[in-house]
């Protein structure tokens, strides 16, 4: 048994149970008419417990209760080729067997990690104020065209803009839900795109398993099992599909993807929270 995961389950269950016990409407919890999303006392207790870590909810809590299928996903496996090197690093680069990291004379770096992740570094981040926010989309489209990236099925799912740093994320979707493991990430500084990351799901198919996902309000207390969420504001909560990428990720070509709540903070960071009776996954 993984005792860390078991402890997380117990902590989350204990927190939620105590919130219910503190709620004046506890006697109604098991009635057919009970809806946690309309239980103001429960919501207030959730927000109060989060505030003890200086975590504050600044958005509307989704009130949907989802019943969604688990997805079987297959990933694109990447191989370093002369063609791939030419697209990103220019002509004259040759692929070498078992070598996954390459650098050209301009200092640009291309790496393939875990057989699925493409990481391209144009240069180190340049400090300075970003003054071209209105042209970010154009820069992304030009980059995709110049690097001959197959962006079919991708659309923007996340954007964070600050004074000197920005990230825009495109993901594939299954129905209206983002497949968060299938992404293109564009990192911007004052000169433009300085880093790009991509991982691609080729196929996503429903399995026979369907999951009734806990509400966002019931799931939020699981944030307290993380050590890096203090002093933040929650700006958005949305349903996504996600698979935990652990130390065995390099061995995986296909894996199930589960419906989870994605909690996005004011600093552009986020957490994926399991909406089923298991454990936090990211």
Q: Is residue 282 part of a domain?
A: no
107 and 167 share one domain: yes
Q: Is residue 63 part of a domain?
A: yes
Q: Is residue 124 part of a domain?
A: yes
Q: What tens digit of pLDDT does each residue of 42-100 get?
A: 899 999 999 999 999 999 999 998 999 999 999 999 999 999 999 999 999 999 999 99
Q: Is residue 15 part of a domain?
A: yes
User: Final residue of a domain: which of 150, 183, 204?
Assistant: 204
106 and 200 share one domain: yes
Task: Report the residue count for the chain.
Answer: 282
| Strand 232-242 relative to strand 177-189, pairing | parallel
pLDDT computed for residue 80 by the predictor: 96
The answer to whether 273 and 215 are in contact (CB under 8 A) is no
172 and 227 share one domain: no
Domain that holds residue 237: 3-72+205-274
Read off the pLDDT band of 143 (50, 70, 90): very high
Q: What tens digit of pLDDT does each residue of 66-81 get?
A: 999 999 999 999 999 9
Quote the number of domains for the chain.
2
95 and 151 share one domain: yes
Specify the long-range contacts of residues 16-22, CB closer than 8 Å, at least 24 apart. 16/218, 16/221, 19/45, 19/46, 19/49, 19/221
User: Can you read off the two tokens belonging to residue 280?
Assistant: 């936090």
The answer for residues whose C-beta is within 8 angstroms of residue 175's C-beta and 6 or more apart is none
Q: Is residue 259 part of a domain?
A: yes
Quick one: what percent of the chain has pLDDT higher than 70? Answer: 85
Q: What is the mean pLDDT of the chain?
A: 88
**Residue 122 maps to which CATH number?**
3.30.310.160
Bridge partners of 233, per DSSP, are 56
**Residue 255 maps to which CATH number?**
2.40.128
DSSP codes of every residue in 124-151: PPPPS----GGGHHHHHHHHHHHTT---
Read off the pLDDT band of 24 (50, 70, 90): very low
Average pLDDT over residues 132-157: 95
Q: Is residue 146 part of a domain?
A: yes
């Amino acid at each position: 048994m993984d005792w860390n995961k078991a402890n997380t389950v117990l902590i989350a269950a204990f927190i939620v149970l105590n919130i219910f016990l503190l709620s004046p409407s506890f006697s109604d919890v098991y009635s057919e008419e009970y809806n946690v999303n309309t239980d103001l006392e429960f919501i207030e207790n959730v927000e109060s417990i989060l505030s003890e870590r200086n975590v504050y909810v600044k958005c509307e809590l989704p009130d949907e209760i989802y019943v969604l299928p688990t997805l079987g996903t297959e990933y694109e496996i990447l191989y370093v080729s002369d063609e791939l090197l030419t697209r990103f690093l220019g002509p004259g680069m040759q692929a070498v067997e078992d070598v996954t990291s390459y650098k050209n004379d301009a200092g640009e770096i291309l790496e393939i990690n875990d057989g699925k992740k493409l990481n391209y570094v144009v240069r180190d981040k340049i400090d300075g104020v970003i003054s071209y926010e209105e042209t970010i989309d154009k820069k992304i489209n030009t980059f995709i065209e110049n690097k001959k990236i197959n962006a079919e099925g991708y659309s923007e799912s996340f954007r964070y803009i600050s004074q000197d740093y920005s990230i825009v994320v495109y993901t594939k979707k299954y129905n209206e839900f983002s497949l968060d493991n299938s992404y293109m990430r564009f990192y911007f500084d004052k000169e433009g795109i300085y880093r790009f990351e991509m991982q691609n799901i080729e196929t996503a198919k429903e399995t026979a398993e369907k999951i009734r996902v806990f509400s966002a309000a019931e799931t939020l207390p699981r944030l307290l099992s993380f050590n890096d969420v203090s002093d933040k504001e929650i700006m958005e909560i949305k349903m996504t599909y996600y698979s935990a990428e652990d130390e065995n990720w390099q061995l995986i070509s296909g894996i199930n993807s589960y419906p989870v709540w994605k909690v996005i903070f004011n600093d552009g960071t986020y957490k994926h929270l399991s909406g089923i009776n298991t454990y936090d996954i990211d």
